[in-house]
Structure 1
Amino acid sequence: MGTGEQSPADGSGSTPDGVRAGVAIHGTTNCPVVAASTVHDGPITGVNWTHAGDTHTEEFRARDPDAVDRAEGVPEAASVVDLGDERVYRYDRPREGECACRIIEELDCPIADARAEDGVLLLTLHLPNLQRLRDVVSALDGTAERVEVRYLVQGAARGDGVSDRTLVDRGRLTDRQCEVLRTAYRMGYFERPRDANARDVADALDIAPSTFAEHLAAAQRKLLEETLAAN
């Protein structure tokens, strides 16, 4: 295109309404970088990979070389380049076994960024819609203990054609607040009419109704702050 202008991938000329999602995968198996992150001080970053035949080659950046050497379940990694405050490593292994990143790629979903910290695989994905995100989470079922959507940036065009983006950062919620929200949602507390009242949800959580109300109010306040802060 000689004008230098770029058209949307669908050629429609409309503003895309896809999502940017931060996904945390807990307890994933067959991931040496995640294994190394359990003994590494700080995140392991710059994770990327390539496939050639039956060989999977992976590269990553680490600030603590000793941690990489003593990590269990990590193939022998070769130091590629020293960048001063961190070092780039590369290792090869067979393309076998379940791998969270490969599962996502097989859904035709490129991974924008990958890192690992404290045994958790952290991925950034750009997806066309929320249903695609649900597909990713569903595909990972059985390969990890838990999949958490830590933040979500959703783009949607308003009537004037200006993009209206909302950021929801679930990382602001405590584990207990997330559990309360999930249980209340699953039991139909937010339906109209409600399928469960506050006491029903509190009993399911084995807490007092007043405690349920406190957790719910705190979680809702945080989510509203995220949603309405820019308004």
Structure 2
Amino acid sequence: MATGSESAGSRAGETPDGVRAGVAIHGAGNCPVVAASTAHDGPITGVNWTHAGDTHTEEFRARDPDAVDRADGVPAAASVVDLGDERVYRYDRPRDGECACRVIEELDCPIADARAEDGVLLLTLHLPDLERLRDIVSALDGIADRVEVRYLVHGAATDDAVPDRTLVDRGRLTDRQCEVLRTAYRMGYFERPRDANASAVAEALDIAPSTFAEHLAAAQRKLLEETLGEV
């Protein structure tokens, strides 16, 4: 019979069966961050929150302060700090049982990352098994119009014979960013030596070279966040 310490050591040496899931929550109508994202060009990021008594305090980052002011359904948010290209906001509201993030946390599931874009709440979750993911989707029934699992990655095994697989969430890219990447790839922009330079790709897309560079940098940053986020 194994002792408690032996059992713990055995469990520590086992390869976990957990998953990394990207979940898109549509129709979370009572979420101020989602409301702000409907008027904002690009994602609302850096979403964090805390609870003190009956008060829910939330913080987020936005690149377009005017959009935050224009959005309906956003409580009066205090500007905390200006980071140059982004501004950090914070607001308070009463705690309630209709908050999607709170529903997930009450299932003992920390949220690894939260952001909102175009009225959709996008969450990254690290879960012990698929059953917990099913519990989350079921618990959100009635809180949201629809819950979409955008990607699912099983943890890499420790066996050297099994490759470390990572699934990239292309849903993070805008249609324009996908078009820029696809065109650049097809024209040989990423080849060495290049078959086409930035000016040629920009001309094919009918945009300025500076605009091409901006879209390309944004797309590459998102893809690198997906593949290197845990490194």
| TM-score, scaled to structure 2 | 0.66
**Does structure 2 retain, via aligned residues, the 8 Å contact 1:151–1:171?**
no
1:68 corresponding residue in structure 2: 68
CA drift of 1:37 comes to 0.3
Structure 1: give runs of 5+ residues left out of the alignment.
Answer: 1-7, 173-231
Amino acid at match of 2:119: G
CA change 1:166–1:83 in 2 (3 A) is closer
1:101 corresponding residue in structure 2: 101
Amino acid at match of 1:155: G
Structure 2: give runs of 5+ residues left out of the alignment.
Answer: 1-7, 173-231
CA change 1:35–1:21 in 2 (3 A) is same
CA drift of 1:168 comes to 7.4
**Does structure 2 retain, via aligned residues, the 8 Å contact 1:30–1:97?**
no
1:128 corresponding residue in structure 2: 128
Question: In structure 1, the residue corresponding to 2:76 is in which secondary structure?
Answer: coil
Structure 1 residues 152-161 or 29-38, which shifts more? Answer: 152-161
1:89 corresponding residue in structure 2: 89
Question: In structure 2, the residue corresponding to 1:43 is in which secondary structure?
Answer: coil
Give me the whole-angstrom Cα distance separating, in 2, the residues matched to 1:37 and 1:108.
27
**Does structure 2 retain, via aligned residues, the 8 Å contact 1:154–1:167?**
no
**Does structure 2 retain, via aligned residues, the 8 Å contact 1:35–1:72?**
yes
Give me the whole-angstrom Cα distance separating, in 2, the residues matched to 1:31 and 1:53.
19
Question: In structure 1, the residue corresponding to 2:13 is in which secondary structure?
Answer: coil
Question: In structure 2, the residue corresponding to 1:24 is in which secondary structure?
Answer: strand
CA change 1:151–1:170 in 2 (3 A) is farther
1:52 corresponding residue in structure 2: 52
CA change 1:169–1:89 in 2 (3 A) is closer
1:151 corresponding residue in structure 2: 151
- Alignment pair present for 1:141 and 2:141: yes
Question: In structure 1, the residue corresponding to 2:167 is in which secondary structure?
Answer: strand
Question: In structure 2, the residue corresponding to 1:167 is in which secondary structure?
Answer: coil
Amino acid at match of 1:25: I
CA change 1:10–1:120 in 2 (3 A) is farther
CA drift of 1:165 comes to 3.7
Structure with the higher fraction of residues in helix conformation: 2
Amino acid at match of 1:157: A
CA change 1:16–1:73 in 2 (3 A) is same
CA drift of 1:60 comes to 0.1
Give me the whole-angstrom Cα distance separating, in 2, the residues matched to 1:90 and 1:10.
45
Percentage identity across aligned positions? 86
Cα RMSD (Å) of the superposition? Answer: 2.4
**Does structure 1 retain, via aligned residues, the 8 Å contact 2:97–2:103?**
no
Structure 1 residues 153-162 or 49-58, which shifts more? Answer: 153-162
Structure with the higher fraction of residues in strand conformation: 1
- 1:70-111 CA distance string (max 9 Å, x none): 111110000000000000000000112401000000000000
Structure 1 residues 138-147 or 50-59, which shifts more? Answer: 138-147
1:204 corresponding residue in structure 2: none
2:119 corresponding residue in structure 1: 119
